[in-house]
Structure 1
């Protein structure tokens, strides 16, 4: 029997069915769930992040949901630190910790030995990079990162200006690319079972489109308007997330609502594609095809038995 702490991780693209399956498995395995989603930490951002409701939790404890105001920072290092504390606490209670989510880097930072740069902030350098972005654009800033740290540049979208600037800052302050700090051990510190959910692409895209339509009917536009009315600047990183930035453009008169909805669908499909690419590059994943999962009770029991065989 391993003396490592137990950990079950469930990953997969948006709309593949992670949330509902994780609840069933948590009940079957006496588990408690840590959200592995970088956006669900923010209060008041419920519809656009497809945040699980209290009713859907069905009494299964959940963590790292609704812990910050939308204008607060939450880094990969923050997620790693808080998740590892929770994993220890849940194990000590005799329960099975489960990380469930789609933010690949956040999850990898926990399940492998990621080390993060301790480089301090340089406000004058940040200001200079922000001014460079204003003058030359996000693409030019991203190209600067590509030139010195192609690995991180590939991971970060050019619209993620804050993290692109941080990566450039780390290089300027330390002489080393961020990717070098984020090298990881090939072995997990946990007694790990890693499940990946996948689905036939056409069906997944249909589910994504339906989810976006549901978000609109549930009041996504009103949710975004409420955040703006509360004084949150539309340029903060959380409001640049998919679903929020497109609705903000609509509210600011830059696009029609129909155009905003189509852009949310397209950007969500592209995001799912990037998620699958990321997860397929990870080792140790046991893939489950959710295209035609069959009888639900049988599926859950098969997974429960598989997990029990991997984590003892």
Structure 2
């Protein structure tokens, strides 16, 4: 067995693919418990984690994105965290490229690549190798939509998308102005909705996928979301947003549109009270979690687990699913019994 393990590892190191590359994926809404489980699975299966979160790529956005700290990672390598300055643009296509490179690097060292995150488009585009259409851009149209949002608000801009592409509007938060405008721009330039483009993807994965999805009783999930936000505020979310504002970022920049940052920035600019900002943040995060679940439920191949139930039993079942899925890949072996 050891000789066969070494032989396969050697073939992989030479870049010779004997079969599809195994890829472990953990998804679920915010506050459902992905981080704690990801560390357990990574240790057990000798994996390295690739963040599938669109906001954790940004430096200086730590508390509001629930980014795992260096001292919390238990010596498990984490990729695609803190790779962009707040001023930079970062897209699903950028993530797909970066994550693909990380998967190759991790696999070449004999480790199991492991995607963990809640940004549905990012994770799905990687798992099924979406081809992003090169539709170009219409800067005048973008400027028009940005001006419309400034005058009428993010909800009004989101309503424009809902009128032409309800499925995309359901999946995108009104605060995600960059993607809302891009979805409108795609329709403006091609006559085809963003959802129609997504539906046209083949949904055939280049990977041997094992996707674990976490869910939870809705009332309990909302309670956990509110507790998490209270903790973020105690840990210094307001000060973190103050630091970002010192970058003199445009109102439509990614950090200033991000959940948790947009609401607190409005308070710091005197546009609302602290209490109103916190209440809005809790409301918007609940809505965001609902959109996350809606996105993931349109995906296939997911093994769902309810974290409200006996999670010890769930944990054994999850390990069993991973073992069954990757049993033919002898280079991946569990480091502990379960």
TM-score (norm 1): 0.91
Equivalent of residue 321 in structure 2, options 287, 306, 311: 306
Q: Distance in 2 between matches of 1:265 and 1:44?
A: 21
SS in 1 for 2:115: strand
The correspondence for 1:208, drawn from 225, 244, 252, is 225
Q: What is the CA–CA distance in structure 1 between the aligned matches of 2:316 and 2:156, rounded to whole Å?
A: 51
State the match for 1:35 in structure 2. 51
Q: Does 1:193 align with 2:210?
A: yes
Q: Is the Cα–Cα contact under 8 Å of residues 29 and 304 in structure 1 kept in the other structure? A: no
Deviation at 1:133, TM superposition (A): 4.2
The one of 272, 287, 291 equivalent to 2:304 is 287
Determine if the alignment matches structure 1 residue 75 to structure 2 residue 103.
no
Deviations 1:246-296 (A, max 9, x none): 11111112222222222211211121111112212221110111113344x
User: How many pairs were matched up?
Assistant: 310
Measure the CA separation in 1 of the matches of 2:306 and 2:120: 19
Question: Are residue 17 (structure 1) and residue 22 (structure 2) matched?
Answer: no
Deviation string for 1:86-137 (max 9, x for gaps)? 1122112111111001111110001113111112223233233334445565
152-161 vs 65-74, which moves further: 152-161
Q: 1:157 to 1:196 in 2, by over 3 A?
A: same
Q: Sort the Cα spacing of 1:160 and 1:58 in 2 relative to 1 into closer, same or farther, 3 A.
A: same
Distance 2:162 2:223 in 1: 34
Structure-2 separation of matches of 1:294 and 1:124? 52
Shift in alpha-carbon separation, 1:301–1:124, aligned structure 2, 3 A: same
Q: What SS does structure 2 have at the residue aligned with 1:186?
A: coil
- The offset of 1:240, in angstroms, is 1.5
Against the structure 1 CA distance between its residues 10 and 130, is the aligned structure 2 distance closer, same or farther, given a 3 Å change threshold? same
**Unmatched 5+ stretches in structure 1:** none
Counterpart position of 1:157? 173
Superposition deviation, residue 214 in structure 1: 0.6
2:131 aligned to 115, 128, 136, which one? 115
1:235 paired with 2:275, answer: no
Secondary structure at the aligned position of 2:210 is classed as strand
Q: What SS does the corresponding residue of 2:222 show, helix, strand or coil?
A: helix
Q: Do structure 1's residue 96 and structure 2's residue 99 form an aligned pair?
A: no
Map of 2:334 onto structure 1:
none
Q: Which moved more, 1:7-16 or 1:245-254?
A: 245-254
CA RMSD of aligned residues (A): 2.2
C-alpha separation in 2, matches of 1:14 and 1:60:
21
Deviation at 1:310, TM superposition (A): 0.6
**Structure 2: gaps of 5 or more residues:** 1-16, 330-338
Structure 2 counterpart SS, 1:232:
coil
Whether the 8 Å CA contact 2:161–2:184 is kept in 1: the answer is yes
CA distance in 2, matches of 1:81, 1:219: 33
Is the Cα contact below 8 Å between 2:177 and 2:252 reproduced in 1?
Answer: no
Does residue 176 of structure 1 match 2:227? Answer: no
